[in-house]
Amino acid sequence: MSVLILFCAVVIFSCIITNKFSNRIGMPALLFFMLLGILFGVDGIFKISFDNYELTSKLCSVGLLLIIFYGGFCTKKPDDKKTGIVAAVLSSFATFITAFLTAVFCHFVLKISVLESFLIGAVLSSTDAASVFSILRSKKLNLKYNTATLLEIESGSNDPFAYMLTILGLILINGQNSTNIGLMFLLQLGLGVLFGVLIAKAAILIFKKTKFISEGYDCLFVLAVALISFAVPDLLGGNGYLSVYLTGIILGNSEIKNKINLVYFFDGLERLAQVLIFFLLGLLSSPHKFFEIVFPATGIFLFLTFIARPFAVFLTMKPFKAKLRQIIFVSMAGLRGAASVVFAIMVAAGTNNFNLDIFHIVFFVCFASVAIQGSILPFLAKKLNMIDKFFDVLKTFNDYQKESAITLSKFVVSDNNPWINKQLKDINIPKDVLILLIKRERQKIVPKGDTVILKDDVVLLGSSVVHSSSDIKLREMEITENHEWKNKKIKDIDFQPDFLIALIKRAGNAFVPNGETTLFAGDVVVFYIV
């Protein structure tokens, strides 16, 4: 027992070290987790023989449900309905097209049997949000046209559809009764949606209306909710992954207490789940078997990456008048990761009726996807002019509220307000309150000490006790060591005409800057674009 615990500790420490190393050289950390698993595996240095697909499938399924739940929990409702609609169509329609085209290629070009081709297409049809966003976060990149939100929703919600196709493939290849396929799909979707919504609503009700949860147990309560949300519909024939994703979205977009603690807790669990899944993938693999599958696996990777995925994305996004450069980037951002790995292990554990080594084919494709596509994504974003330099990835107004001690409120200056016609420097403002922005008719004014408050001004305040304004969106941008604004005074920076700085966060403190304020590495600029 002690040896096993020590082994787990060594693996976790090794993953932490490799993650630090990967950030320095610009390679995705998940790739190193795979390599670490190979290093410990039967063909590696430590020669650990491990081939228990059934146990691995169960462990990785738990890891995947945590990843999917946290992906939903962090998914913010898009600012415009169009982004949500496009993401929904991508996650369903484009997933089916990708699976179909990949299966057709496998059967007619690579001469793989129909059912094995179908399973390969199904397993590889989903994309991985964790892989994409680990890369974007490490480079502090956000994308134009709400593309980050689009990818986040698509990648989180296409796993349930890929799971349904995988289950169907296993049913067919095992020779089970397939007459009720339509009913199976209806149950998968219907029960997944039903229990996802009901369990989330019940959890919110318990949070808000009862004292059931003792102080400090909120994280454990939400963890239990996530597990129940997956298990109940799964036992009844529903789609547990769809259910747990919807539960995550509803909880994440609700006003529940201690949300920042929940974010930290599940962020740690998600990282542990990623380490578990990709390390076990490497540990299960036998690199000497790659020689047997390298030709078909390479063909599948190239076809999937450069034909099937781009065709499906173009067919889906073009009717919504998406820009070509956005379509190209979304096509290339379809990395295969945790879901494909888990479904491949599930397939390997679910049947022996294969003529081909599907697990190692999927391993090869995922490895190539993370290594090649993952490495070129930042470069591609720059070349396609897709980088929004004023908006750090996933930094929405709600994220800013959760990460900062400052929340927002607004009030209108009325006739009897004592601030009327006074300069800000002469107003007695509480120590923990900042005036961030003044809206005067159609003007947006960044306040200074000599700014005069007038009747009917709308004043945006920042404090630790008030509620947020819903119509003013603040964004954050960190000044890095290589940022062009580093060590420059605000007055010397050539801003966009509609760019207004609300405040600066520095070393745990927040303050309203003026033209003489110098920006340093580590500063977080909170700004507003009119």
Q: What's residue 416's pLDDT?
A: 74
Q: What's residue 139's pLDDT?
A: 63
Q: What's residue 28's pLDDT?
A: 66
Q: Which of the listed CATH numbers 3.20.20.70, 3.30.470.20, 3.30.70.1450, 3.90.550.10 matches domain 397-529?
A: 3.30.70.1450
Averaged pLDDT of the chain: 82
Q: How confident is the model at residue 474 (pLDDT cuts 50, 70, 90)?
A: low
Highest mean pLDDT among 373-382, 386-395, 445-454, 487-496: 373-382
Average pLDDT rounded to a whole number, residues 19-28: 64
Structure-token pair, residue 322: 């998406």
Q: H helices of 304-440, where?
A: 309-317, 324-332, 338-350, 358-368, 374-383, 397-403
Alpha carbon distance 177, 266 (integer Å): 39
In the CATH hierarchy, which top-level class contains the domain 2-383?
mainly alpha
Tell me if 345 sits within 8 A of 284, measured CB to CB.
yes
Structure-token pair, residue 194: 């039903």
What percentage of residues in the chain have a pLDDT greater than 90? 27
Give phi and psi for 181, each to the nearest 5.
-60, -40
More confident residue, 268 or 352: 268
Q: Using a cut of 0.85, tell me whether the model's pTM lies above it.
A: no
Domain boundaries, the chain: 2-383, 397-529
Alpha carbon distance 136, 144 (integer Å): 13
Residues 6+ apart with CB under 8 A from 382: none
Q: What's residue 401's pLDDT?
A: 43
pLDDT digits (tens, 9 = 90+) for 141-171: 678 888 887 888 888 889 899 999 998 888 8
Using the predicted structure, report yes or no on whether residue 136 has a pLDDT greater than 70.
no
